[in-house]
Structure 1
């Protein structure tokens, strides 16, 4: 038999596979109707594991055993997605515990930010809420979450990601720990300045103070001046404040020009961060389960089964529902070696049927799912 004949046989088998696939999906649709009527859950992990073992036992080689397991895993995954879709269409998707609002009451809100006057966090807050915002400054990111939890503030402004230095991992961990929700974001262009007391020059500087992220973003400049030692601070504005209070010409801070103005320091050199384009994304967090009617981005956090293909199957819910995933990050789960929590951003609004459908599937198949916000 030549290649042409073999390909013809494959074409015949493929046609049969397609016909059987459509027949299987039609039966899956009937299963969905039954589950809608009876209120049964779509995902039955034990049933699927038994089924996978049964089809593997029908194979004649180890290679085919692996292949059949993968094939039927996909078939069952597609069947579940069809059933989730039918449940959503039947209005059985359930209501998400979020309240839709038209806008944030910025004029009458109390807002906290981490750092001090002159920090990028303060700038992000004022850009989002306005110059006259009623605000307080706290020392740490955890403090910001705590004042939200006890009701001392309505919102907190927190940096979550820098275009050069990457994510602020502590913020992701705090989002998983606290029952707070993202309702907005603000992007601030970062232009770090080296600043010191009046009359100080670059040659005078022996020690520079700044936040670890800012020191990282200014690594090239600092490596070119290896005689300058680096000391980390909790916030750039704290660094500028220290240099101003100490009044020592050998000390400098890396912070924003705004911080230099606030603390009466002189800018020795502008743009010490190496990237021409450097921005930080700040999130606006509240303890209320609300989302804006105009929101277009959703953030979620989930834990997945520690097994082969688990992440792949969960990610497929975005594909099948036509949702564009814009970001994924992982963080280790405390006290569980080699297990990770995933943070995902995707486009959509909680009122969209495609979003409800995807979230239903993720909720049933993930070990844990939390909606962090729609903004």
Structure 2
């Protein structure tokens, strides 16, 4: 094949890609019209039956063009997920008109390139208004920025699939007046990063956030004799290694963020669990209203009476009202030795009848009960179909 022929084919590919982008944009406009209809008629955002039928039809059509069913499935799972999230964002905006701001001032841990920075970029990419980034050195400072109205929102990591709950954040929530207004799950891909210009690399010191060291403990144990130094965030670790420009220093952080600081990855997938994700919460001064068509989650904080089976009685109330418990975390109450404050995540909307019934009963059973927030579920489970349907 001559160079001229190759150039001609590439021009055709470029043209086809542009046409695909235009079609995707057109599909998103139709998604907006669908969302508007769902608002008027109180229709749920997700229709699993229609999504399954759509995938089956597309797989069959794809076969006619010689396209692999797995490719079609993966492609349209992403498109369906984007459609769901776009609709949820639109419904949220219509239900909370006062929340639309020309500027979204958002506080998060670290600087450009930290995982909290990446999560912030991801979450607010679907929200109207310009994003103003406010990097902070600690979780306490992040909370303070919103409480003093220097920031409109804060993004806080709450748990990780490898290292578990981030207790310091739970302890901050125990004393704040802020409300949880959103959540998102972000993949965490740890890489060993060194300065791009370093030669004859012989690592003697590794910099990272304490949570990162916990998530990569197996890798560190196998690495051998190396000094570990903790930093306030993954971005601070990357900045430190960038400034040192030494063949003996490395940071553990996001491979995609290493380029911000002239770092390159020499080893990836360092986490103990290869499917490593962090869940983040978004907090603000004011609570929000979640439309009933949008899947919602609610977080409450409570302390039970000091009697046998008190926590069990609380959980039975949730069961009796068919409310699914997704998270139960206990933290000590400062100044009350051996007493615990319980954080509970449940699936459901505070505007829904069963939730109101359950919460009314729990308020009478507990010594302290507070709703920290009702917010949309950001994680969209992929649409799946049985192989028999796809092959029929």
Verify same fold: TM over 0.5.
Answer: yes
Asked if structure 2 preserves the Cα contact closer than 8 Å seen for 1:291 and 1:373, the reply is no
Asked if structure 2 preserves the Cα contact closer than 8 Å seen for 1:163 and 1:279, the reply is yes
Aligned to 2:203: 205
Give the superposition deviation at 1:201: 6.8
Aligned to 1:23: none
Aligned to 2:250: 252
Instruction: Indicate the structure (1 or 2) with the bigger Cα radius of gyration.
Output: 1
Q: Structure 1 residues 202, 124: CA separation in 2 closer, same or farther (over 3 Å shift)?
A: farther
Secondary structure at 2:336's aligned position in 1? Answer: coil
Q: Would you say how many aligned residue pairs link Structure 1 and Structure 2?
A: 276
Aligned to 1:300: 300
Aligned to 1:313: 313
Asked if 1:184 is matched to 2:182, the reply is yes
Secondary structure at 1:133's aligned position in 2? Answer: strand
Q: Distance in 2 between matches of 1:283 and 1:201?
A: 41
Q: Structure 1 residues 346, 211: CA separation in 2 closer, same or farther (over 3 Å shift)?
A: same
Q: Distance in 1 between matches of 2:205 and 2:262?
A: 19
Asked if structure 2 preserves the Cα contact closer than 8 Å seen for 1:297 and 1:348, the reply is yes
Greater shift in the superposed pair: 264-273 or 118-127: 264-273
Q: Distance in 2 between matches of 1:303 and 1:265?
A: 47
Give the superposition deviation at 1:106: 6.4
Q: How does 1:228-267 map to 2 (within 5 A)?
A: 228-267=226-265
Q: Deviations over 1:41-100 (max 9, x none)?
A: xxxxxxxxxxxxxxxxxxxxxxxxxxxxxxxxxxxxxxxxxxxxxxxxxxxxxxxxxxx6
Give the superposition deviation at 1:104: 5.0
Give the superposition deviation at 1:287: 1.1
Q: Structure 1 residues 283, 233: CA separation in 2 closer, same or farther (over 3 Å shift)?
A: same
Q: Structure 1 residues 274, 182: CA separation in 2 closer, same or farther (over 3 Å shift)?
A: same
Query: 5+ unaligned residues in a row in structure 1: which ranges?
Result: 1-99
Asked if structure 1 preserves the Cα contact closer than 8 Å seen for 2:314 and 2:362, the reply is yes
Q: Distance in 2 between matches of 1:171 and 1:367?
A: 22
Aligned to 1:322: 322
Asked if 1:137 is matched to 2:150, the reply is no
Asked if structure 2 preserves the Cα contact closer than 8 Å seen for 1:140 and 1:234, the reply is yes
Q: Distance in 2 between matches of 1:121 and 1:145?
A: 14
Asked if structure 2 preserves the Cα contact closer than 8 Å seen for 1:304 and 1:367, the reply is yes
Asked if structure 1 preserves the Cα contact closer than 8 Å seen for 2:110 and 2:233, the reply is yes
Q: Distance in 2 between matches of 1:341 and 1:202?
A: 52
Instruction: Give the counterpart of 1:222 among 199, 220, 225.
Output: 220
Asked if structure 1 preserves the Cα contact closer than 8 Å seen for 2:332 and 2:338, the reply is yes
Greater shift in the superposed pair: 293-302 or 322-331: 293-302
Greater shift in the superposed pair: 361-370 or 190-199: 190-199
Secondary structure at 1:290's aligned position in 2? Answer: coil
Aligned to 1:109: 104
Q: Distance in 2 between matches of 1:202 and 1:101?
A: 56
Asked if structure 2 preserves the Cα contact closer than 8 Å seen for 1:106 and 1:133, the reply is no
Q: Distance in 2 between matches of 1:198 and 1:319?
A: 55
Asked if structure 2 preserves the Cα contact closer than 8 Å seen for 1:192 and 1:273, the reply is yes
Greater shift in the superposed pair: 127-136 or 314-323: 127-136
Give the superposition deviation at 1:350: 1.0
Aligned to 2:362: 362
Secondary structure at 2:338's aligned position in 1? Answer: coil
Aligned to 2:153: 155
Give the superposition deviation at 1:108: 3.1
Q: Deviations over 1:102-134 (max 9, x none)?
A: 695365321111111001101111101029522
Aligned to 1:289: 287
Give the superposition deviation at 1:173: 0.8
Instruction: Please give the root-mean-square deviation of Cα atoms over the aligned residues, in Å.
Output: 1.8
Give the superposition deviation at 1:271: 1.3
